[in-house]
């Protein structure tokens, strides 16, 4: 960890590495993933919270939104890119988006929602002034109803039930 070229303290790097190691990451990957999380934390800074907390939260998102639940440098960069894009183009904050995605991730299994879609929805709701607890709960309830009462929503959308089901399947 001492070899990582960063302005982050060694203590913070050790804290990040400790969190990564507790998530079942192979020992040989810990230093590289610590460096990736450090880059994410340096770029987004306090926007996503304290480094150790942000690391734990990003790991949760990776495990929620990826079937194999593997924490990889590529996935860390993908989330970092999405968060950076959304937090620099509107009023959305990283902490809000991460918290919102954790809440909405609860229905990912039945909906097939992707993390970029959930983050974008969260950004839109924050832009409208919603708090993450309220927005997350509303999104989960609406999504659950949408997938469990297809005929009702198909009628509201003025499409056939089969067409609505296909749309949900192809583009949740």
Question: 17-66, pLDDT tens digit by residue?
Answer: 999 999 888 899 999 999 999 999 889 888 888 888 999 999 999 999 99
In the structure, what pLDDT confidence band is assigned to residue 109 with cuts at 50, 70 and 90?
confident
The CB-side HSE value for 137 (13 A sphere, CA atoms) comes to: 4
Q: pTM of the full predicted structure?
A: 0.83
C-alpha 67/C-alpha 160 separation (Å) is 31
| pLDDT number for residue 4 | 83
| pLDDT number for residue 170 | 81
C-alpha 106/C-alpha 109 separation (Å) is 7
In the structure, what pLDDT confidence band is assigned to residue 169 with cuts at 50, 70 and 90?
confident
């Amino acid at each position: 960890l001492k070899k990582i070229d960063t302005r982050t303290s060694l203590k913070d790097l050790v804290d990040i590495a400790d969190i990564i190691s507790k998530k079942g990451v192979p020992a040989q990957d810990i230093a590289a993933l610590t460096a990736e999380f450090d880059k994410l934390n340096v770029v987004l800074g306090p926007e996503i919270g304290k480094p150790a907390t942000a690391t734990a939260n990003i790991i949760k998102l990776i495990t929620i939104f990826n079937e194999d639940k593997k924490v990889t440098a590529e996935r860390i960069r993908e989330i970092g890119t999405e968060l950076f894009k959304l937090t620099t183009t509107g009023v959305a904050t990283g902490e809000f988006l991460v918290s919102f995605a954790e809440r909405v991730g609860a229905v990912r299994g039945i909906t097939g929602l992707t993390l970029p879609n959930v983050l974008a929805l969260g950004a839109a709701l924050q832009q409208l002034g919603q708090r993450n607890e309220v927005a997350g709960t509303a999104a989960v309830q609406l999504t659950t109803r949408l997938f469990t009462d297809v005929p009702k929503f198909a009628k509201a959308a003025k499409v056939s039930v089969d067409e609505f089901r296909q749309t949900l399947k192809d583009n949740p």
